[in-house]
Structure 1
Amino acid sequence: MINVGVLGATGAVGQRFVQLLADHPWFHLQTLTASERSAGKPYGKVVNWRLDAPYPDKVSDVVVTPTTVESLKDCDLVFSALPADVATQLETEIANAGIAVCSNARSHRMDPDVPLVIPEVNPDHLGLIDVQRDRGRGGFIVTNPNCSTIVLTLALAPLRSFEFHNVHAATMQAISGGGFAGVAAMEIYDNVIPYIGAEEEKIETEIVKIMGTFNGSEVIPAPIQVSASCHRVPVIDGHTIAVWADVKEPVDEVKKAYATFKSPFSNLPLQPAKAIELLDQPDRPQPRLDRNRGRGMTVSVGRIREGLRFVALGHNTIRGAAGASVLNAELIYSRKYL
C-alpha cells in the first residue's frame, strides 16, 4: 500500500478526496491536513461533511495536522486541494522533499515540466516526471485540469480522428465549483451569473497543452483555437457545456466515434467502464439525471447535431476535481513512478 495524504482535507474538494481514498485498494489514507484552527483535532470533530456521499467513519479519529512539509514525512504521495496562492510554493517544497504531488490546484498546470493529465487523453505526458527528476527534483508534481476543461477535453477526445481547429464552448457550471462558500444564495437563486473569474482563460489554455504532443522533453501545443464563455447556474453538482467544433464529418460518423471510444486502461480502480457515454435522447444529458454515471467519473455527451454541435456533462467535484487527481495517481502507480 502507498501511504497518502490530503492537503486541505476539510474543504469541498478535500472532502471528495477523503471520500474516494477512505477505502481505496492501493492507497492508505493516513494524513489529513487543514488550517491551524483544525490542526491537532480529530477529523470527525472539525469537518462539516457536506457531500451527498456517506461520511467515511474510518477517518473520524485521524488527527488533522498543519499543512507543512514536516507533517507529510510519512507520505509517499499527497493529493492537493489547496487554494492556488498556498499551493504554488508549498507543492514545490513538498516535491523537492521527495514526495509525489497530485494536485487539483491551478498553480503548476502550465509549468513546462509539469504534466497536465487526463489519463484517457494524454497518458504519455507523464514522461515529464522524468524531466522533473532529471532536473534534480526528488519527488514530482502532476496536475489535473480545471473542472470544465476536463469535461470539454474528454468530450473532444473521440473527435481527434477527425480534423478540427476551432472549438467554441459555453459552460453552465454548478455552484459547488465555487466551494462551500463560493456563491452567495441571494446571488444564484433565480439567476445566472455570466462570469467566473479566470475560468475562460483556464479552458482556452489548458486544452491546448493537454491535447499537445509530448516529444520526450516538452509538450508541443495542439494546433487548435478554443474560445470559452463561462456561466454559473443554480445547479448543485454537474457542469454542462454546449460545444461547437469545426468537424466536417457527418453526425453518424461522430456518433460512432463516441460509441466506440474506449479508455486505454481497464485496471485502474476509479476508471469507469465508459469514460464517455453517448446519450441519444434529444433532452439529455441533464445534471440531475446523468452526473453520477460511472460513480461520477463518466462524461456524458448528447444532442449531437450538424455543425458540429453537441452538449457535454460531467460531475465537477468528482471527474472534474478529486476523482481526476486520484485517477492520475492510479495511472502513476501502475506505471511504477512511485
Structure 2
Amino acid sequence: MTVRVGILGATGAVGQRFIQLLDDHPTFELAAVTASDESAGKSYREAAKWRVDTPIPDDVAEMEVRRTAVDDVPEDLDLVFSSLPSSAAADVEPAFAEAGFVVSSNSSNDRMAPDVPLTIPEVNADHLGLIEVQRDERGWDGALIKNPNCSTITMTPTLAALDAFGLERVHVSTLQAVSGAGYSGVTSMEIIDNAIPHIGGEEEKMESESRKLLGSFDGAELSLHDADVSASCNRIPTLDGHLENVFAELAEDPSVDDVADAMREFPGIDLPSAPDPLIHVFEEPTRPQPRLDRMHGDGMAISAGGIQETSTGIKYNCLAHNTIRGAAGASVLNGELLVEEGWV
C-alpha cells in the first residue's frame, strides 16, 4: 500500500527532518511540499537552506514548492504532515481538515483541544477515537491529530511505565538542546558558555500535555490523568537531544529494579518507524547523555538511567532526540498509526 503525503512548512528545521525521515519510507510517498508565498514556485533546493546531516533526496530537491493553501496542493493526498508555526497552523490546519485532508501535526496549536487526539502511539493509541468526536462536532470529513511537545514526549513514555505503581506527582527539570528553538531561536552569543533558565510556554506544555497523554478515553470524552505535574525548562548549549531530570511520587513503593524493569518492558508498537525497545534503560549512573545516546532507535527511542529511590519516590534521567522523536518522527509515527488503524 502506498500512501501519498504532503508536508506543510517543508523548508524549516522540522520540515527538513520530515524530508529526511520520509526518504525511502516503506509506506509514504512524498507528493507535495509547501512553504511561504516567498518560496512558492522555487525548487525545494532553492527554497530550503538545508541543514540536516544527510543530503537532500534528489527527487525532493527538484520538487516545486507550493503555497501552503488548500487550493494549491493535490486533491489526492492521503495524509498531510504539518510543521507550520502555530500562529499559521491555527488557521491552516482546520482549513485542510475541513477540506477532507487528514493532518498529522507537530504544531502546538490545538494540542489541548478536547476533541483533538494528542498521541504517542505506544502510550495512548486508543485516543485516536477522538477523531469521530471531532468530525461530529466540527462537521468535517478530514481529521486533525497532534503529537506532543518535544520535552513532553521525552518524559511521558517513562511516566506511562511508572503509572503501574500509581503515579501521583511529578517534578521535572529539563536541559534542552538549541535545535528545539529553531535555527534563529537562540543566538550563539546567548547560549555559548551559558544556560538559559526559561523557555517561554514550555513548562505549561509539559504540565498539561503529559496529563492529557496519560488520560483515559471512554469513547466519547477524554479525562486528564490526575497526577500533579510541575516543570522547570532550561536551554543549554547542546545541539540535539533533550535531557530531563524527573522526580516521581508514587502510590506504591517500587524498588529501583522494579522501575527499571517496568521501563525496559514497557510495550512498543509494530509500526515502521517505532523503536524496539521503546525505552532503553542504562545501568550506568552517567547515562543517558545527549551526544552519546540521542540516536538510539534511529533517534526514535527514549533513554533512561540514573534511577534512584528518594524519600518520596523515584528519581531518574531521560533523554530523546528532540527533532526526530520529539517532532518530525513523532508525526510520522502518528501517520503510520493512522494508516494502521484505518483512518487513512
Q: Which TM-score applies when normalising by structure 2?
A: 0.96
Partner of 1:261: 266
- What is the letter of the counterpart of residue 63 of structure 1? E
Partner of 1:228: 231
- The DSSP-based 3-state class of the residue aligned with 1:313 is strand
Deviations 1:176-223 (A, max 9, x none): 000011100000000000010000000000011110000111111101
**Farther-moved stretch of structure 1 (138-147 vs 159-168):** 159-168
Partners of 1:217 and 1:156 lie apart in 2 by: 25
Partner of 2:309: 306
- 1:169-184 matches, within 5 Å, as 169-184=172-187
Shift of 1:53: 2.9
Partner of 2:240: 237
Q: Which runs of 4+ in 1 moved over 4 A?
A: none
RMSD (Å) for aligned C-alpha atoms: 0.9
Partner of 2:63: 62
1:90 aligns with 2:92: yes
Partners of 1:275 and 1:107 lie apart in 2 by: 27
Partners of 2:261 and 2:206 lie apart in 1 by: 26
For residue 331 of structure 1, the aligned residue among 337, 340, 343 is 337
Partner of 2:33: 32
Partner of 1:21: 22
For residue 105 of structure 1, the aligned residue among 104, 107, 132 is 107
Deviations 1:110-132 (A, max 9, x none): 11100000001100000001112
- 1:150-165 matches, within 5 Å, as 150-165=153-168
- What is the letter of the counterpart of residue 87 of structure 1? A
- The DSSP-based 3-state class of the residue aligned with 2:326 is helix
Partner of 1:53: 54
- The DSSP-based 3-state class of the residue aligned with 2:167 is coil
- The DSSP-based 3-state class of the residue aligned with 1:242 is strand
Shift of 1:261: 1.8
Q: Identity across aligned pairs (percent)?
A: 52
Partners of 1:259 and 1:177 lie apart in 2 by: 27
1:251 aligns with 2:245: no
- What is the letter of the counterpart of residue 271 of structure 1? A
**Structure 1 unaligned runs (5+)?**
none
| Corresponding residue pairs, total | 336
- What is the letter of the counterpart of residue 71 of structure 2? E
Shift of 1:256: 1.4
Deviations 1:1-29 (A, max 9, x none): 11111011010000001111122111110
- Residues 1:319 and 1:89: Cα distance change in structure 2 (over 3 Å): same
- What is the letter of the counterpart of residue 122 of structure 1? N
- What is the letter of the counterpart of residue 14 of structure 2? V
| Equivalent pair of 1:195/1:232 in contact (CA under 8 Å) | yes
Q: Which TM-score applies when normalising by structure 1?
A: 0.98
Partner of 2:134: 132
| Equivalent pair of 2:89/2:107 in contact (CA under 8 Å) | yes
